Structure 1
């Protein structure tokens, strides 16, 4: 499968973070985006609320200037982080505050990563590498057992 450079780099960084136990949704340098941008925290200044996908003034400025960080636009970085948090079980309350799940473990982090990988595939128009639904497609069998 043909992928983009930014996709490959992001997947490598997220893979290493997951297996080195340096993936942490509570730390802006160790979350999904933090790892993609080499454990820097500049990206958190693109929005006013952690987990939100709305750019603030600085974020809009960078977006409108066409800036990219490690291949991703400011809005894409916020979408990636939002997907990670959603996959990890975070949600927004009625007061627009981020609600933390009861506990974070490897299984929860893995689910968050699955959300991120699916989004990265959509952003780069790549077939979702985690989509296994074709295995259960009863209209087009993979194997012909009659021959």
Structure 2
């Protein structure tokens, strides 16, 4: 586990942005990365194309120098952005001709994007997805009372 505090900070910033309606995939200061990086847009200079994971010269220099921006490398920042845009329904790389969602700031669209970003952030940290609720609904069949097991088998 690298740095759980950067995960917590990023999730908190995304949560605040989502709930205060200040999350916008088409604004470099209000997208997932813009919010994680304190509503700055300096990160957009790491690539020549919006929605690309390919670092340009500036991005490669920063990456090779080991620079971190709120704990994230330039490669990670571009990966976060592409993950968010793809999950929100954007065709990448994104430009004025690309397909995009009808309503980019629709809460359902943004929520799907945020879930994918949080899953990626957890992968960066080497921890389980904090939003994965499936374990809450799993149970060990051996510990389930026999009457319930038999009843559920009869309904199938």
TM-score under structure 1 length normalisation: 0.88
Match of 1:115 in 2: 116
Secondary structure of the corresponding residue to residue 100 of structure 1: coil
**1:72-117 deviations in whole A, cap 9, x for unaligned?**
0000000001111011001137x9x643222220000000000100
Equivalent pairs counted in the alignment come to: 142
Q: In the alignment, is residue 126 of structure 1 matched against residue 127 of structure 2?
A: yes
TM-score under structure 2 length normalisation: 0.83
Q: Give the Cα–Cα distance (whole angstroms) in 2 for the partners of residues 79 and 63 of structure 1.
A: 13
Question: Which one has a bigger Cα radius of gyration?
Answer: 2
5+ residue gaps, structure 2: 148-156
Q: 1:146 to 1:89 in 2, by over 3 A?
A: same
Q: Give the Cα–Cα distance (whole angstroms) in 2 for the partners of residues 70 and 141 of structure 1.
A: 44
Match of 1:10 in 2: 10
- Runs of 4+ off more than 4 Å: 135-138
Question: What is the aligned-residue RMSD (CA, Å)?
Answer: 2.2
Q: Give the Cα–Cα distance (whole angstroms) in 2 for the partners of residues 106 and 143 of structure 1.
A: 39
Alignment of 1:95-106 (within 5 A): 98-104=98-104, 105-106=106-107
**1:90-145 deviations in whole A, cap 9, x for unaligned?**
1137x9x643222220000000000100000001001011223335657x449533
Match of 1:22 in 2: 22
Q: Give the Cα–Cα distance (whole angstroms) in 2 for the partners of residues 18 and 146 of structure 1.
A: 45
Q: Give the Cα–Cα distance (whole angstroms) in 1 for the partners of residues 98 and 122 of structure 2.
A: 26
Secondary structure of the corresponding residue to residue 50 of structure 2: coil
